[in-house]
């Protein structure tokens, strides 16, 4: 039903990021919702250590996570590692600091100030990938892309990426990047068995432009792990048990969806995988996906999720997954634009 690239030892796969020479690990360790907020710093450092031990070399954060604290925690956790042996990603767009009129967005002012703050907190002279965390409808795209070009030329970032941009926005940004002469190589969208909205438009445009996906929430914020059951309230210590449940996760918590997810359990069993591993393996089957973002609140979760990053799912497994989730997953490409900010956050 499946095969491993190695019959004995699972070696972390590395994939090229877009049409570039940069390789990233197929699993990227991300510290959204954990470092600096949900877990203690010593546990966060242990999670990063576990990621390194598992062969992960790519680490993703953002200045907005825990209002800049997550970057500091990641920087401390990576201190002492050979800088050339890891790829560090961060992002700019959302509100940081006290939320002044220029504390968000993709203006030249905010980008230039943000990259300097991120580098200081991360304890590095450069990031491998600097990403626009969303599209800024209030700043001319030319201004944003010129600022990115200047950051690359200054050596503060090696590559530029974005997050949750539409196919049209990707094409416009890529055209300016080519004109300005800097590498625009990635997009970071939500993507999972349940949320496939990038497939109709974003992925074809990205393949055309030489852009890869670094996908977030490959387990649909934990729903695809199978731990949430229809008709049962989520445990208080789970993400779904929090009062501040996100809108995207709330959509996954419908009983119809949770019941369908339980039909994945025998499929995972037949494949010799946990349900979480099946979910991660599924997104990595898409050739336009360079890496899947995985977080952790305990070190053992890292090893569990990474264990089968090199799995190739057989066609019959993919068909069974589609059949199990028929009617509960979405491929509506309009959701990327509909869920995007309509004005700069404040």
Q: Rounded to an integer, what distance in angstroms lies between the CA atom of residue 26 and that of residue 29?
A: 10
Q: Which residue has the tokens 């907190």?
A: 121
Strands 184-187 and 212-215 come out as parallel
HSE of 344, CA atoms in CB hemisphere, 13 A: 21
Alpha carbon dihedral 18, 21, 25, 26, in 10-degree steps, equals: 40
Q: Are 130 and 151 in contact (CB under 8 A)?
A: yes
Q: Which residue has the tokens 């090229």?
A: 16
Q: Rounded to an integer, what distance in angstroms lies between the CA atom of residue 159 and that of residue 300?
A: 31
Question: Has 329 been annotated as catalytic?
Answer: no
Q: Decide: helix, strand or coil at residue 15.
A: strand
Instruction: Determine the distance from the C-alpha atom of residue 158 to the mean position of all C-alpha atoms in its chain, rounded to a whole number.
Output: 18
Query: Token pair of 301, please?
Result: 């979760």
Query: Token pair of 261, please?
Result: 């997810």
- Residue 181: exposed, middle, or buried by beta-carbon count in 10 A (0-12, 13-18, 19+)? exposed
Q: Rounded to an integer, what distance in angstroms lies between the CA atom of residue 292 and that of residue 308?
A: 12
| 269 DSSP β-pair partners | none
Instruction: Determine the distance from the C-alpha atom of residue 298 to the mean position of all C-alpha atoms in its chain, rounded to a whole number.
Output: 19
Query: Token pair of 260, please?
Result: 């369908």
Return the closest-CA partner of residue 48 out of 32, 33, 29, 61.
Answer: 29
Output phi, psi for 58, to 5 deg: -105, 135
Which of 16, 29, 65, 93 is labelled catalytic?
65
Count the residues in the chain: 346
| Residue 322: how many other CB atoms lie within 10 Å | 11
Which residues are annotated as catalytic? 65
């Amino acid at each position: 039903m499946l095969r491993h690239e190695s019959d004995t030892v699972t070696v972390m796969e590395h994939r090229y990021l877009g049409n570039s020479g940069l390789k990233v690990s197929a699993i990227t360790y991300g510290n959204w919702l954990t470092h600096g907020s949900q877990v203690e710093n010593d546990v966060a450092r242990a999670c990063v250590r576990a990621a390194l031990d598992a062969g992960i070399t790519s680490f993703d954060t953002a200045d907005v996570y825990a209002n800049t604290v997550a970057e500091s925690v990641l920087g401390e956790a990576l201190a002492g590692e050979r800088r050339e042996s890891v790829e560090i990603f961060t992002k700019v767009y959302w509100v940081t600091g006290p939320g002044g009129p220029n504390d968000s967005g993709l203006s030249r002012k905010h980008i230039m100030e943000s990259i300097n703050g991120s580098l200081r907190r991360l304890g590095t002279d450069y990031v491998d990938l600097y990403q626009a965390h969303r599209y800024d409808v209030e700043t001319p795209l030319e201004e944003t892309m010129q600022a990115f070009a200047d950051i690359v030329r200054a050596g503060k970032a090696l590559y530029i990426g974005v997050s949750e941009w539409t196919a049209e926005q990707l094409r416009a940004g890529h055209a300016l990047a080519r004109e300005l002469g800097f590498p625009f190589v990635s997009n970071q969208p939500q993507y999972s068995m349940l949320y496939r909205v990038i497939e109709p438009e974003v992925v074809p445009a990205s393949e055309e432009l030489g852009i890869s996906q670094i996908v977030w929430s490959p387990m649909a914020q934990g729903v695809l792990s199978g731990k949430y059951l229809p008709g049962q309230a989520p445990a208080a210590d789970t993400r779904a048990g929090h009062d501040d449940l996100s809108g995207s996760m709330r959509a996954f918590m419908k009983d119809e969806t949770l019941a369908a997810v339980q039909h994945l359990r025998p499929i995972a069993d037949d494949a010799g995988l946990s349900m979480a591993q099946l979910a991660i393996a599924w997104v990595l089957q898409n050739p336009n996906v360079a890496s899947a973002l995985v977080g952790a609140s305990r070190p053992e979760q890292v090893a569990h999720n990474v264990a089968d990053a090199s799995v190739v799912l057989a066609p019959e497994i993919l068909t069974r997954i589609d059949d199990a989730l028929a009617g509960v997953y979405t491929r509506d490409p309009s959701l990327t634009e509909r869920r995007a900010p309509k004005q700069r956050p404040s």
